[in-house]
Structure 1
Amino acid sequence: MAERGRDTAVFHSGLYAVRCRYAELSLSQLLPLDRVLVGAESRRVGAFGGFQHLNQGYRHLQMFAVVTMHGPMGGDTPQRPELALLDLLRAYAHDCLHYGSRRRYISVGGKPTRTQYGINFRRPSGQSYSAADPQGSPHTRNLGIVMEGACDREAQRITREAAERADIREPEDTMGRLAFRDMTGTLSASDVTAKLREELSGEEAEYVERLCRFEAGVSRRYASFLGEFAPGEEENLHDLLLAAVISGDTRGLGAWLDDRHGPGTFAGVFRAESYFEPAALELSA
């Protein structure tokens, strides 16, 4: 965009904020920009890109991120440069945390198998430390949801502050408003009504549906988790979670939870019964 004369200051301002903030969390090496692949144009009629685009995200084995430019993908220049830059900042800040999360791999049958990602663990046989949440649950006991929620809450905060510094205002049209609130973490459960869904069609409608599912299934559950286990101290627990995800060390987080909720809180909340099934132990031996 800079080559076409577009002002990209908001993105670079956000990059500086990412470096400073993540250094506080002991993440000194960010995802290299040359390992971020950005798709701006699609031959698919009606293609609509952005953070909630299908199959967008970080590939942990290849160690690169695949993202799309926000908005209609009929050409290589975004229709709304400011929104596209905010969306790219949110995606990059999010994927930097995935890139910087502690990971451990072993070889199983000649194939690399991830046994640790952040503060979640997995047996070589496939059993995860924490079980999936029941469908439609308003809260979470799943470490994957907690880590994803923590990463995106941080990315949204950085994006929101970048927009405020650049005085980028919320658009008035439906898609622009929803996208802006999604990028900046200001989307509410009441923002997407049944009537609004009826007004949208094609890939815009599909994009909004994915946006709603992510908000309900990840962001809202994570906010509920913070409110449940750290009322009045949500940001303290959030910071501890991010630091633990980056280091892979749960001791500080566990001690903080134990101090407020009693011994063994981390395991009591997150550990699935199936993690210690005899079959799992036998396969992991």
Structure 2
Amino acid sequence: MVRTGLPAGGDAGIPPAAHQGHHPVVAPLAPNETVVGARASEALASLRADTAVLTSAHPDHVFRTATERLARWQAAGLDTGVFHAGFYMAWNRYAELGLSQMLPLHRVLVGAESSRPGAFGGFHHPDQGYRHLQMVALVTMHGPLGSDVPERANLALLDLLRAYAHDCLHYGSRRRYVYVDGRLVRTQYGINFRRASGRTYSAADPKGAPHTRNLGVVMEGACDREARRIAREAAARVGVGEPEDATERLAFRDVTGTLAGEEATASADASTDEVTRYTGALWRYEAGVNRRYASFLDEFAPGEQEDLHTLVLRSVISGATGALSGWLDDRHGPGTFAGLFRTPEYFDPGVPV
């Protein structure tokens, strides 16, 4: 459901060779990342030196950096203005939120030119998104993937903008890495925490829940709400309207966050039609992330949804929970943050942080 899960292997997938050199290797870091100790830095540097583990999961597609993709689309005569308009909107908005750097476009890999018949890509394509261990965003061109250029240029550019704006926030979120018992462990991501033992601060939501008490869903929902707002405003500024085709119109409304009141059709998990499977993934993400996050804002900030949303994003970027906790305490009583999100299993003084 959540695009930003780890690739296979999780935090433990650290090559042994990463720790055998005589000279310490320093990992390239995102703006709000901290690595504790030389062994953790070497392990992270090894992972960030090679993206083949990500692209090899999609052997049918050709991946190029977003810089190269956009240049090729321009050379083919496509107007990429809507992406660039949204890029600068995101740059300004994220600076206000406290994010000093945007995700470099050369660390965004865009898949297309697929050899698989019927391949269909976009934001909800399987096994893509921001991968924090590699510090790379893996995405696919929206629409049929057989070509080098998109079938519907404006829709593909808006989809790429939504994915980029979304993954910029993941890139800029607070993270802390440590090396424990032969493995790299991420002990903080935004406002969520994990002990070295693997115990997380908040638990998964019950299946089918209409609301959320999971910080991962809150952070994912906040990132996507912001990204879709940027896509919506960029579309309005450049004059990109809704397509007439029903499937394309659904994708446009998803990208721009204007699905209000619509309900999912059958999810068709077993379908061999990639367009149908994509649509099913779209609706599962909408129900499991975006609608749960909207419900969270409505529940705890009626009439102040945007204030709480902005505060969540600032807290995710900085990693500081004080202002967010204080805001919730003022409105709902002391200890609201911990009462909502912390699981009893997390609080164990015998387990190291």
- Whether TM-score is above 0.5 comes out as yes
Using the TM superposition, name which of 250-259 and 39-48 deviates more: 39-48
Offset of residue 191 of structure 1: 4.4
Structure 1 position 132, deviation (Å):
0.6
- Could you say which residue in structure 1 is the equivalent of 2:296? 225
Query: What is the match of residue 101 of structure 1?
Result: 173
Q: Is the 8 A contact 1:141 1:269 kept in 2?
A: yes
Matched residues in 1 for 2:329 and 2:139: separation? 39
Are 2:181 and 1:181 equivalent residues in the alignment? no
Distance 2:118 2:197 in 1: 42
Secondary structure (helix, strand or coil) at the match of 1:152 reads helix
Q: Distance in 2 between matches of 1:192 and 1:201?
A: 19
Deviates more, 1:81-90 or 1:106-115: 106-115
Pairwise mapping of residues 156-235 of structure 1 onto structure 2 (< 5 A)?
156-194=228-266, 202-235=273-306
Question: 1:282 — aligned with what?
Answer: 350
Contact 1:72 / 1:78 at 8 angstroms: preserved in 2?
A: yes
Residue 160 (structure 1) shift: 0.3
Equivalent residue for 1:126, pick from 198, 201, 208 = 198
Q: Which amino acid aligns with 1:254?
A: S
1:63 pairs with 2:111 = no
Runs of 4+ in structure 1 off by over 2 angstroms are 188-194
SS of alignment partner, residue 90 of structure 1: helix
Aligned residue-pair number: 280
SS class of match (2:94): helix
Identity score, percent: 67
Distance change (3 Å), C-alpha of 1:201 and 1:171: farther
Report deviation, 1:188: 3.5
Q: Does structure 2 conserve the Cα–Cα contact (< 8 Å) formed by 1:178 and 1:191? A: no
Which whole-Å CA distance do the structure 2 matches of 1:210 and 1:274 have between them?
32
Q: SS of the residue aligned with 2:350? A: helix
CA distance in 1, matches of 2:203, 2:344: 8
CA distance in 1, matches of 2:162, 2:118: 23
How far did 1:189 drift? 5.0
Unmatched 5+ stretches in structure 2: 1-72
1:282 maps to amino acid: G
Q: Deviations over 1:182-230 (max 9, x none)?
A: 1001113534335x97xx9600010011000000000000000000000
Gaps of at least 5 residues in structure 1 are none
Please give the TM-score of this superposition, normalised by the length of structure 1.
0.95
State the SS of the aligned residue for 2:109: strand
**Superposed CA RMSD:** 1.6
Separation in 1 of the partners of 2:275 and 2:204? Answer: 29
Q: Which amino acid aligns with 1:127?
A: R
2:338 is the counterpart of 1:267: yes
TM-superposed CA distance for 1:166, in Å, is 1.2
What residue number does 2:7 align with? none
Residue type of the partner of 2:319?
G
- Within-5 A mapping of 1:24-103: 24-103=96-175
